[in-house]
Structure formats: structure tokens, C-alpha cells
Amino acid sequence: MTEFRYFIVKETETFQRLDRLISNHYSDFSRTRIQDLIRQGYIKADGKKVSASDKVKEGVRIDLILPQVEEAIPQPQHIPLDILYEDQDLIVLNKAAGMVVHPAPGSVDQTLVNALLSHCGNSLSGIGGIKRPGIVHRLDKGTSGLLVVAKNDVAHRGLSGQFSSRSLSRTYQALIWGVPNSFTGTITGNIGRSPRHRQKMALLLSGGKEAMTHYKILKTFGSIASLVECRLETGRTHQIRVHLTSIGHPLIGDPLYGSAPHKAPLALRQALMGLTQNLRPLLHAWRIEFVHPRTQEKLFFSVILPDDFLKAIDIMNKYVERF
């Protein structure tokens, strides 16, 4: 259903940018959404077309026509979800390894978005005018663990702001080959598309985007492998996988960025690869912490390691005990 809103510009609001002024009046819309409505002609000043950067005077009437929220193109599909928390604004869930987050070529359905469209139904008020869940951050298909998803523009804008300011904290656990030289450390380097392998990301000497990963060793398995905790300062595609590989310690089970070192015993490699035959890197987003965008309450959630991860640790422990 189309909605109509309007307000009269006050003296104290004179000569403000139009998009900023409207955003101040209607906090349930993002600036991007307001700019889209202006470009499409749904917002007018005294009946005239406007631009987002226009400055307005006292007494001008600002009219907004809010078109009906469009249905999302992906279709709802009933897929079980492991939900830890849900309210009118957001959902925190534990994504299973093997689930793709967004529909894409090769994965057009059975994704997290399809599942969320079915689960949320009419509780989605629309992100940018489209009835869809707001995916604020992503996990690779093979990565398991925590994701927070927005259900409306207010939550989407608030959570995205926390990602931009790096105040939203995400912590992962990873099982890697070898043992890093330092018990704790920080890995930096710009990440961008690999010029040699278009399926991969890489550290680049020029270009790319700044990336920073803090790690600490939680447990070692002789000199063969380590369980490490990684905390992200940034959220680049494949960041942990690229950074750990760059210091010579790729994730166990990662088919794209690294394989088992030659010194790893064949029996151990076979046992571990038996767990990861679906090419699943052993990476798990186990903790997330953020401020609720509406209530301003500080929230944190954690989930235990999944079965395949725990079985890999058990295999490592038994190997170390024998040798």
C-alpha cells in the first residue's frame, strides 16, 4: 500500500541538504533510500522535483510518496534455521557449513536468504524499499557460525554503521596447519582479487582494501597444527583464509588457499580430509558482540564448535598422544 507523508520546513532547518533534512525527520529510512526516492521523483518540495543536495527554505512543504514495498526476487523456501535471538529488528543465527548466504550463479536457491524470507514473512518491513533481509555481513559457504541479519532499514543502518566504525566485534576459531612463530600477532595487508586466479583473493602491494586480523594460539598439536582464535578489525572477502595463508598457515580443509604440508603424516591427512571431503575449511564464527540499533543494549552471543570441527580436534589430540 502506498503511503504519503509531509512536513513543513522550520526556520531552524533552513538551508540544510534535503536528504539530510528528511533523514532527520524520518529515522526509519536510510539516506540511501531517501536519495533513491528523490531520484525516482517520489519526493517533492512545494510540488516541484528536487535533488538530494538541494537546500530548502523555511515554510517549504516537503511531500513524500512511499511506494509499496516490492516483493523480493528470491523465493521463500522452508529451510530449518538455528536461531539464537530474534526481535522486531534483527535475527542472530548460527549458519551451518555448506549453506550459501546469497543467491548467486550456481546457487540460485536453498540459500540463507531464501530461508529467511520464509521464516520472517511479513515481519520484514523492507530494506531499501524491497522486502528482504538485510545481510550486514557474510560468511563463506564453508564457514559455520554466527550472523546478524537486519529486518528493517533502522536496524540495517545501525548495524552497518557499527561495521564501518569497527565497533561490532567478531571472533572466529580456525584449525590451521603448523604453529605460528608468535603466540599472538596481527596480520595486515590490503586484500583484493588475485590477478592470477580470479576465484581467489590475495594480498596486494597496490590497490585492494585495508585488512587487519588479530590472532592468538589457543592450542597446539605438536608442530603439525594449531587451534587459533581470530578477531577481525575489517571484513574483507576470505580475509582470515588469505591472512593465515600469507604467514604460511592455511586452514585445514581449505581447497582454495592451501593444502596439508608435506611433513604432515599421510594417515593424519587422510583422517582429517575424510572430515572435510566437501571441501570445508575448518573456520567457525563463534562469537559476535554489538549494540542493538534500537534499544542501544549491548548484546553478545557465542556458539560452540560444530561436530566436524570437534572431531578434527579429537583426531589431532589422538595423533599427538600416540607420537
Catalytic annotation, residues: 140
Beta bridge partners of 6: 63
d(CA 190, CA 193) in angstroms, rounded, equals 10
Q: CA nearest 82: which of 136, 119, 137?
A: 119
**DSSP class of residue 67?**
P
| Under 8 Å between Cβ of 139 and 101 | yes
d(CA 108, CA 110) in angstroms, rounded, equals 7
d(CA 161, CA 228) in angstroms, rounded, equals 28
| Under 8 Å between Cβ of 89 and 120 | no
- Look at residue 58 and give its three-state secondary structure: coil
Return the residue matching grid coordinates 536453498. Answer: 110
Q: CA nearest 56: which of 18, 85, 101?
A: 18
Neighbours of 38 (CB within 10 A): 22
**DSSP class of residue 111?**
S
| Under 8 Å between Cβ of 284 and 172 | yes
